[in-house]
Structure 1
Amino acid sequence: MNFSRVRAWVTSWGPDAKTARELIELLIFSRIALILAGWVGLARLPWKYYSPQYNVSANPVVLMGIRWDALWYTGIAMHGYWFQALAFFPMYPFLIALVHWITFLSVYDTALIVSNMGLVGFTFVFYALVRDVFGADVAKRSVWIAVMFPTAFFMSAGYTEGIYMFFSTAVFWLAYRKKFYTAGIFGLLAGLTRNEGAFTVIPLLWSYYQSYGWTIRKALWSVLLVPAGIIAYMVYQWRDFGSPLAFIAAQGYWGRKISWPWVGIILAFKTIWNGSPLQPDTILSMIDLCAALGFIVLWALAWLKKFPVDWLAYWGILLLIDISAPDINGQSPLLSMSRLVLILFPGFVMMGILARSESWQRFFYWVFPMLQATFFLIFATWHWIA
């Protein structure tokens, strides 16, 4: 075997050995820091919901990652779907069940294994994508900021963020490299993971247009792979629950309603203005409002920096959808916005560009990790954060 050719092939798509080691160290040390923070929280801070029905393991490392939505995903992996659970797409529960079947570990263990495998995949693919477009320096900073973002711990918890980030960024990177059918398969997987995955068709269409214009070529079939996953899920709902759009009705259980994009923002301002600075509603509204406004400003800066068109379109559409579905009567009108922006990967690239400045670099490199440790303490002790 010609190892020099193999090494050249690996280097052409992935990081060099030094960078790969740095990325692995970032993942290992950041996860160790989170585990220590969660351990302190479980040992020293008051919990909620002491019932074994919710605290599903005696292992604190597992326990701190199985909170809130994680119980829905693991419940689906064990028992299949019921109506309210249709709001949670099937790929993540399927992978949890598959790894459980292969390893005989509990579904709670395998939920965290799958999430962290997704985080590793995202870290390397995201680096490769940003390096190809903006260079290695911006790529390193962007990855560091993404992993240290205040709600990035969700990529290691029993949530879909880890694997969705991997699938969706893989679509962009493969489409950029004109690997249409492989990108389409990852788009299918993204669509089976979250409904936002349908919009990974954008980089495929853009890359196809750049390659072939308006002419019809065989590669156009790859675009149809992206909606295939969601269509399959809709057929399943139609057969077993009587409606192909049952997942939309199920989402109403969480109180979200479609409205004008400024409604949630105005309500968040009102909640903050009328509330006490130490009330949970006020604090959560501040966090979610800062996330929404921050990513709007970042999008505008990215547009001025002439980011790739498909990045801006994907980012803008998803951000608009999230802002336009507020929880009007909930604790925070822009419910979970600090977590929802996590999948908007171009935002981290814009932050990576801003981090060329030492002042911005100090902010991202010091404030973000401290906020993530704080948010994870809140999450691990059964207090709502996103």
Structure 2
Amino acid sequence: MTDLDTRTAPPRPGSRYTGALHRAVPALAAYAAVRALGLVVLSLWSAARGSSPHTLLSARWDSLWYTRVASLGYGYEIRLPNGDVHSDLAFFPLLPWLERLGATLTPLSYADTGLLVSALASLAAAWGIFSVVDHVYGTEEGPQALRGEGAGHGRTGVYAVVLWAALPVGIVQSMAYSESLFTALAAWSLYAVLTRRWVTAGVLASLAGLTRPVGLAVVAAVWAAALVSWVRERRALPAAGAPWPRRALGMLLAPLGAAGYVLWVGRRTGGGPLGYLDVQAGWRNGFDGGLAFARFIADKFTSPPSAAAGVGLILGVALLLWLYMVCVRQGQPLPLLVYAGVVTALALCASSYFGSKPRLLLPAFPLLLPLARTLSRARPPRAAAVLGGVAVASAVYGAFWLNGSGPP
């Protein structure tokens, strides 16, 4: 796979980014339409139930923890009757920092700033996903697609973005949660890796590591791609040796965000380098290789009414594993495979609250690429009908979900 900047003549100053944004406009418009549909359905559903969509999006569940950190700093915890301790140190700091910055510079509240950050980040994520997919698969759409000619250019990227927007838990992208911010940083870091901008990739990976614990997946992707490319270049240029300074700097920068926060938590709690794991243990979060999740699924088969849910969970896990194997067979670039693999493994093998697993899988957008490629080969009306139906189903489920159990 050749680099994006080697496909065409060198662009005029500033034209690269203008052209990239122009090419992504259909994807961004489609993304905005899907998310707008979700918000409209949520508003109608909430009105019928007498609930507030604004509260559901900005002031419930984890959103409350983020805004509390933004307004008061770290140090709040809840001690439950069973002895568990829920500490706000479990929540990584980048989103609260942005909420505090926004509330300081604008009249918005912390919660509303969180919604604004999520909205802007979700658009940045959609653009990043499109850019990654278009870089990897744009050549499949012919030379006209690469020049940006024709109304249908970039279909695979557009379809990938719409699929991401229309995931069953896609409504989280519109909440004051950190998933949209993390996905934006992860997607653009992966794009920087694919286009060999190592320092940019490292900086974005470091910021992703300040956003969510799964930032480890971005760091792993940067490191894997850097090491493999270094080995390949060294073999190709044995006499001169492979250039390394910018690649090494990117690798050095990538883990700094996550490592810095984890070490700070360890020092604050007195738990040493692994103190963050003790904080997560207070929330009953950990990594057990999926044993707790397997027991959770097995428990569903103890009674006939819940057996259908157990079957559904098994089919869902099987679908994820199948999609990942298709990604491997289709030859996705190494950084995408590493990133999606680590995100999926951390989500499925964690012993955290099992209802949160679909939300934890939200950043794993490379798993959607096989579906996007299949849709890109279908007739546009048929693809539009499929995506439209999925978007409606996602909007209805999102409204039902937030007015019910919601994302923990």
Shift of 1:306: 1.4
1:203-242 equivalent positions in 2, closer than 5 A: 203-213=221-231, 217-219=244-246, 220-242=248-270
Question: RMSD value over aligned CA atoms?
Answer: 2.8
The answer (yes or no) to whether the contact 2:285–2:350 under 8 Å persists in 1 is yes
**Of 91, 94, 97, the match for 1:91:** 94
The answer to whether residue 399 in structure 2 is matched with residue 377 in structure 1 is yes
Q: Tell me whether 1:342 sits opposite 2:362 in the alignment.
A: yes
Instruction: Name 1:306's counterpart in structure 2.
Output: 331
Deviation at 1:287, TM superposition (A): 6.3
CA contact (8 A) 1:62 1:108 kept: no
d(CA) in 1 for partners of 2:345, 2:199: 28
- Letter matched to residue 352 of structure 1: A
Distance 1:126 1:194, change over 3 A: same
The question of whether the paired residues in 1 share the 8 Å contact of 2:92 and 2:212 is answered with yes
8 Å CA contact retained: 2:267, 2:275: no
Contact 1:15 1:128 in 2 (8 A): no
Q: State which of 179, 188, 205 in structure 1 corresponds to 2:197.
A: 179
Unaligned runs of 5+ in 1: 48-59
Q: Residue 272 and residue 253 in structure 1: after superposition, are their counterparts in 2 closer, same or farther (change >3 A)?
A: farther
Which string of whole-angstrom CA distances, capped at 9 and with x for unpartnered residues, describes residues 298-317 of structure 1?
00111111111221122122
Q: Following the alignment from structure 1 to structure 2, what is the Cα–Cα distance between the partners of residues 146 and 127?
A: 10
Q: Residue deviations 1:331-375, cap 9 Å, x none? A: xxx331211111111012122123246599478514432332233
Please tell me the residue identity of whatever aligns with 2:265.
Answer: Q
Cα deviation, residue 296, structure 1 = 1.2
In 1: Cα distance, 2:321 partner to 2:295 partner: 15
Q: Give distance in 1, aligned partners of 2:28 and 2:158.
A: 12
Other-structure match for 1:51: none
CA distance in 2, matches of 1:212, 1:258: 32
> TM-score scaled by structure 2?
0.79
Q: Partner amino acid for 1:64?
A: L
Helix, strand or coil for the counterpart of 2:67?
Answer: helix
Kindly state the Cα deviation for residue 254 of structure 1 after the two structures are TM-superposed. Answer: 3.4
Match of 2:35 in 1: 31
Q: Does residue 1:254 correspond to 2:283, yes or no?
A: yes
Q: Secondary structure at the match of 1:365?
A: helix
Question: Residues of 1 paired with 2:300 and 2:135: CA distance?
Answer: 43
Which letter does structure 1 place at the counterpart of 2:343? L
What is the match of residue 5 of structure 1?
Answer: 12
CA distance change for structure 1 residues 309 and 25 in 2, over 3 Å: closer, same or farther? closer
Give CA deviations for 1:104-152 in whole Å, capped at 9, x if unaligned: 3111100100111110111112111111111122111111111111111
CA distance 1:385–1:61, shift in 2 (3 Å): closer
Q: State the AA in 1 paired with 2:400.
A: I
Partner letter of residue 384 of structure 1?
G
The structure number with the bigger radius of gyration is 2
Structure 2: gaps (5+ residues): 1-10, 78-86, 139-153, 235-241
% same residue: 21
Aligned residues: 359
Give deviations 1:24-81, integer Å, cap 9, x for gaps.
432332233222212122211266xxxxxxxxxxxx4532312211111111111111
1:286, 1:337 → 2: CA distance? Answer: 16
Distance in 1 separating the partners of 2:393 and 2:274: 38
Q: TM-score, normalised by structure 1?
A: 0.83
With over 3 angstroms needed to count, the CA separation of the structure-2 counterparts of 1:41 and 1:355, relative to structure 1, is: same
1:42 maps to which of 35, 43, 46: 46
Residue type of the alignment partner of 2:227: Y
One-letter amino acid of the counterpart of residue 256, structure 1: N
Q: 1:148 aligns with which of 166, 169, 178?
A: 166
CA distance in 2, matches of 1:260, 1:211: 30
Following TM superposition, by how much is the alpha carbon of 1:262 offset from its aligned partner in structure 2, in angstroms?
5.7
